[in-house]
A and B are shown apart, each in its own frame.
Chain A
Amino acid sequence: MKQRKKPFQCAPKEASPSLSHKSEKPSCSHWPQRLIPFRKIASVLAITLLAGLSSGYLLRLWWTPDLQTERSIALNLANAHHLEAEPLLTNLLKQNPKDIEILKALVVLQMVADRPQEADEYLARWCKLEPDNPTPLTTRFELSARLFRYQTAVACGRKLLQQDPALSAVRRKLMWIEVRTGQLEEAIKDAEDGLSQQPKETDYLHLLAHVSHLQGEWDAANKHLDDLFAQSEHFLPAILLRGTILCETNQFQQAIPYLDRVIRDDPLPENQQKARYQLAQAFYRLGRTREADEQMAIWQRHENALRTVIDAYQQPSNFDLRLQAGKLLLETGQTARGIAVLKDLLSQDPNQAEARRLLENQIRK
């Protein structure tokens, strides 16, 4: 019967004529003769390292209550949107960069402080730590779009849709970002995928019509618009597109009611401006120059107002320009925007009498 060796037991070394009597002692085959003196050092090393690790861990446990207290205070402050929490949170994050709660609080704080770029940095870290968590991914998707970081927005949007293809709001936003970045094929695919889930969703049909128009395929665009109008006759972006296509295909008379309606009903000044320009083009081609000039004069007033608002906010200390922007917005019928600009101005400089007067007039109205 074969004799079994005891596990982990060193076998006695076979006698060798060249070995001295010292080497005749039983020895372990794992440890060559010349390394035997280090065996003790290794043992000491292992034991003390183990002891150190254990002590360190215990020390950490003993220390943690303080960190926990600091963390709780910081998180409570952050939850109450106190910006004083920021240095505490960043310090805590340095000690534990994987603390999701801290990252989340920092994101919220940066958003409260209107520092979207800093918020995005923390969001990126959060997304990396929790790649499958839709919360940071959705927030980063929205924020990246707002910051014009379309590449990141598209990556986040695609990942969100991979996780949940039924996220219709994400899909609809993503496909328009793809159009803006020239990824038409991807946009079309997203719209078609969306339509397969929601065949009556007008936004998908509008996108397909829009992309066909961009590609100069008017017939295809019109077909998508027909499908869309079968769902909703009142979808204003589609009405604008129909009017534009009619203009571009020299059907100026037919374009006029569509464009008129957008100017009348669409609350978005940008869409109104597009419609005004196309309407003016239609009038010029029909020889109705006076009406065309009138439309362009309105277009110009709105354009001036829009530009002045942008210029005013780019020069924060130029209160005169901001007052002018508010005035122009009110004059062009953009009352809500005008009031917002004037209120903002008064919050920074309460002595702006003209702004106060304009605002009071609006309130009386």
Chain B
Amino acid sequence: MNRFLFAGVGLVSLAVGLWIGFFAPSMKPVSPDNSSEKAESLDWEPHHLAPSPGYPWLIDVTRSAGIDFIHNGHATPDHLIQETLGSGIGWIDYDNDGWPDLFCVQVGTVASPRSSEPVPTHRLYRNLGNGTFRDVSAETGVNISAYGMGVEVGDYDNDGYDDLLLSELTGVRLLHNEANPQGGRRFKDVTSSSGLANLHWATSCAWGDIDRDGLLDLYVAHYVKIDHDRPAKCRDIQSGLPQSCTPTAYPHVAHRLFRNLGHGTFEDITDSSGISNVPPAPGLGVVMIDLDDDGHLDIFVANDMKPAYLFHNNGNRTFTERAIVSGCGLSGNGSTMAGMGIAVGDLDGTFRPSLFVTNFQNQPNVLFRNLGGLRFSDGSYPSGLGLASLQRLGFGTALLDADRDGRSDLVVVNGHVNRHAKEIDGSTFEQHAQLFAGLGSGKFQDVSHRAGAYFNTKYAGRGVAVADYDRDGRLDLAISSNGGPAILLRNETRNANRGIGLRLQGDGIRSNRNAIGSRIEVATNKSKRVFFVHGGGSYLSSGDRQVLVGLGEDEAISNVLVRWPSGKTQQFRSLLANEEYRFIEGNDSAVLEHTNKP
């Protein structure tokens, strides 16, 4: 027995020895050194999990709030250009209860992999006022299946209820907010009766009263013209990998301007207004705001890889395009921008609205400082916003005073358009969003790493819309992502700063009820600041138009001077911190609507 045992052990040992002796040099595989790339994915650090004193802090409450929207990414192997844009998100208080409700745009016409699955639709979530939302898509009639792009909110018929304008791959859709015979509100598709005939791929849209007749007119940006039967297919020049074609590879069509005639109808004034006098370009972001303080709304459009448009309002329902002449058509080094989203506001304490435009990977986001007289200069790098954006592809953006210190902060959501971004330019498809804290005088600091977990997690970010949905006096964020979830971020910044919410309501006769085009001058004992109520902005998205003024440690606003779209001015005095007020054009006193619970 022992002999057999010894023989067995010997044989096994011999075999092992032979194996090791022969193959030893080959047994230790050498893996490629990609430690630097691995390091990139290590997102989490302790300060991502708890607020840091002095920094804004926003937490993801999507699930607990009852928001369960997932964008239908519709990613095909062909990398179609329409798959790159994603869809937007918007706030609308559709039932006028004072609590902003959330609208999520969906890509819904793509066939479901299994026929039993419901086709994805747009969704409307009603804010219940207790931090949670309820899906009211079906009962309000917005459960529409379409290839959705963006949403723009505005009360086009001045009936006191905000309506929805949706942009889609095949045009626009106007949903009128009306009483539901079964109770509550509902939306009725009035596109065909409104005269908003538009069969082109529409992206961002902006409401604004261009002729000061008290009615909201509409600008519709168009992207490119695609042949659905024979889609263009492109490859990255270096890697050979499939990617979506650049927008310059397609034909373009003129953007549209529709004049509101009243009674729910619109007239296409694209040609007569001069909007079609410019070379057509792929538009993505649009904002309507009076840039030269002449009392008329101008239109700024961020085009993708073509010079931006600045349509200066001549005051007679015509416009002159002046972007290059004004210094905001190209970035400061003379390059076109891949203009996606736009934020607008007084960013440098000049009381004039500056323009901030998000841009492509390896190109800086551009801050056009408003020098007055319709002149702009590129202040991207000195502001701190340019350098911080080089490693990102920016989409939606918005201004908010997140920490209520009296200085505007800026949020930018990022995400690449190429799913092979890593192989193509060494970046990633999903990217971190960024929050920049305003330091005053037009300087910003990237504080994303201390702003909460969301800012340290990668998403294919697209739209962003601002609102104080929980009415605690702090602005919150709703964010859309391409093929990912809608995200709700609640602002939980803890500091001693205070704020005041101001909501403007035009008279609906000479000024539009949304008061788009108003200028608000706010004075405290220590400072003066200026805010603008504008149409459009961000990327395919619509923020709440309530102006939330950060007061720092001040307890009151001594004086507010409002210049309404009609041109009338009104003063409001002695407004207390932590309150929400409504200013109604023609009413001498502000209406206290809500007291914020800190």
Interface string of B19-50 (1 = CB under 8 A from A): 11111111011111110110010000000000
**Could you say which residues of chain B place their CB within 8 Å of the CB of A150?**
426
**Residues of A close to B386: CB separation below 8 A:** 214
Decide: B18 and A117 in contact? CB cutoff 8 A: no
Task: Report how many residues on chain B are interfacial, defined by Cβ distance under 8 Å.
Answer: 68
Known: A44-B13, A181-B391. A125 touches B334 (CB 8 A): no
Interface pair B249/A313, CB less than 8 Å apart? no
Contacts of A55 on B, CB cut-off 8 Å?
14, 17-18, 21
Q: Least Cβ distance of A241 to chain B in Å?
A: 10
Q: Is the CB of B9 within 8 A of A296?
A: no
Instruction: Using A181-B390, A216-B381 as known contacts, say yes or no to A59 and B18 having CB atoms under 8 A apart.
Output: yes
With a CB–CB cut-off of 8 A, which chain B residues contact A274?
333-335
Q: Report whether B9 and A314 are in contact in the complex, using a CB–CB cutoff of 8 Å.
A: no
> Is B495 in the interface zone, CB < 8 Å from A?
no
Residue of A nearest to B383 (CB): A216
Q: Which of B6, B33, B377 contacts A128 (CB 8 A)?
A: B33
Per the 8 Å Cβ criterion, residues 368-410 of B in contact with A are: 377, 379, 381-382, 386-388, 390-391
Q: Which of B9, B22, B34, B324 contacts A48 (CB 8 A)?
A: B9
Alpha-carbon distance A213/B332, docked complex (angstroms): 12
B26 touches A94 (CB 8 A): yes
CA distance A94 to B379 in the complex (A): 54
Interface segment out of the listed A24-32, A222-230, A276-284: A276-284
Question: Contact partner of A52 among B13, B238, B381, CB < 8 A?
Answer: B13
**Chain B residues positioned under 8 Å from A303 (CB to CB):** 336
B327 lies within 8 A of chain A by Cβ: yes
Q: Is the CB of B248 within 8 A of A314?
A: no
What residues of A have a CB within 8 angstroms of the CB of B390 in the complex? 180-182
Given contacts A125-B32, A311-B249, 10 further A-B contacts (CB under 8 A): A53-B21, A57-B22, A148-B424, A181-B390, A248-B377, A273-B334, A277-B334, A307-B246, A315-B249, A316-B235
Flag if A56 contacts B18 (CB, 8 Å).
Answer: yes
Given A54-B21, A216-B382: A314 touches B246 (CB 8 Å cut-off): yes
B22: which of A47, A59, A248 is its contact (CB, 8 Å)?
A: A59
B204 at the binding interface (Cβ < 8 Å): no
Whole-angstrom distance from the CB of A306 to the nearest CB of chain B? 10
Size band of the interface chain A makes with B: 35 or more
Is residue A129 contacting chain B, with contact meaning CB distance below 8 A? yes
The answer to whether A52 and B32 touch across the interface, beta carbons within 8 angstroms, is no
Near B by CB (< 8 A), chain A positions 26-61 give 40-41, 44-45, 47-57, 59-60
Is A127 in contact with chain B by the CB < 8 A criterion?
A: yes
Complex-state Cα separation, A280 to B239, whole angstroms: 37
7 contacting pairs across A/B (C-beta < 8 A): A53-B21, A151-B37, A277-B330, A299-B334, A307-B246, A314-B237, A315-B234
A98 to B427 Cα, complex, angstroms: 30
Please list the 8 inter-chain residue pairs (A to B) with the smallest Cβ-Cβ separation, ordered nearest first: A52-B17, A56-B21, A216-B382, A277-B334, A48-B13, A314-B234, A149-B426, A214-B381
A51 & B334 in contact (Cβ 8 Å cutoff): no
Q: Which residues of B contact A276 (CB under 8 A)?
A: 334
Q: Which residues of A contact B (CB under 8 A)?
A: 40-41, 44-45, 47-57, 59-60, 63, 94-98, 116-117, 121, 124-125, 127-129, 144, 146-152, 155, 180-182, 184, 213-216, 244, 248, 273-278, 280-281, 284, 289, 292, 296, 299, 303, 307-308, 310-311, 313-316, 321
A128 and B30 contact, CB distance less than 8 A: yes
Chain A residues, CB < 8 A from B330: 277
Give the residues in chain B near A117, CB-CB below 8 Å: 239, 423
Name B's A-contacting residues (CB within 8 A).
2, 5-6, 9-11, 13-26, 28-34, 36-37, 40, 232-239, 243, 245-246, 248-249, 305, 324-325, 327, 330, 332-336, 362, 377, 379, 381-382, 386-388, 390-391, 423-427
- Tell whether, in the assembled complex, residue B36 and residue A151 are in contact, meaning their CB atoms are under 8 Å apart: yes
Of A48, A125, A149, the residue contacting B17 (CB under 8 A) is A48
> A292 to B25, alpha carbons, bound, how many Å?
70
Contact flag A278-B382 (CB < 8 Å), given A56-B22, A307-B248 = no
Q: How far is the CA of A51 from the CA of B12 in the complex (A)?
A: 12
State in angstroms the CA–CA spacing of A152 and B327 once bound together: 36
Known contacts A121-B32, A127-B33, A311-B249; decide if A56 and B17 are in contact (CB<8 Å): yes
**Residue from the set B5, B234, B423 with the largest chain A CB neighbour count within 10 Å:** B234
* Chain B nearest Cβ from A44, distance in angstroms: 5
Task: Quote the shortest CB–CB distance from A58 to chain B (angstroms).
Answer: 8
Min Cβ gap A110→B in Å is 13
What separation, in Å, do the CA atoms of A180 and B9 have in the docked complex?
64
Complex contact B10–A44 (CB within 8 A): yes
Q: Which residue of B lies closest to A248 (CB)?
A: B377
> B521 to nearest A CB, angstroms?
28
- When C-beta atoms are compared, the residue in chain B nearest to A315 turns out to be B234
CB atoms of B30 and A98 under 8 A apart = yes
By a CB distance below 8 angstroms, the chain A residues around B31 are 125
Contact A124 B32 (CB under 8 A): yes
Contact (A41, B14) CB under 8 Å given A59-B21, A59-B22: no
| Bound form: Cα–Cα A310–B9 in Å | 69
Partner of A49, one of B14, B25, B232: B14
**Docked-complex contact A214 and B387, CB < 8 angstroms:** yes
Chain B residues whose CB sits within 8 angstroms of the CB of A281 once the complex forms: 327
Cα A236 to Cα B478 with chains together (Å): 48
Whether B13 contacts A151 by the Cβ 8 Å rule is: no
Q: How far is the CB of B436 from chain A (nearest CB, A)?
A: 14
Chain A, residue nearest B246 (CB): A311
**Cβ of A54: which chain B residues have Cβ within 8 Å of it?**
17, 21
By a CB distance below 8 angstroms, the chain A residues around B245 are: 311, 314-315
Residue of B nearest to A153 (CB): B426
Cβ-defined contact, A97 with B17, below 8 A: no
| Option from A52, A144, A155 in Cβ contact (under 8 Å) with B21 | A52
Inter-chain contacts of A321 with B (CB < 8 A): 249
Of B30, B305, B336, chain A has the most CB atoms within 10 Å of the CB of B30
Query: Nearest A residue to B29 by beta-carbon distance?
Result: A97
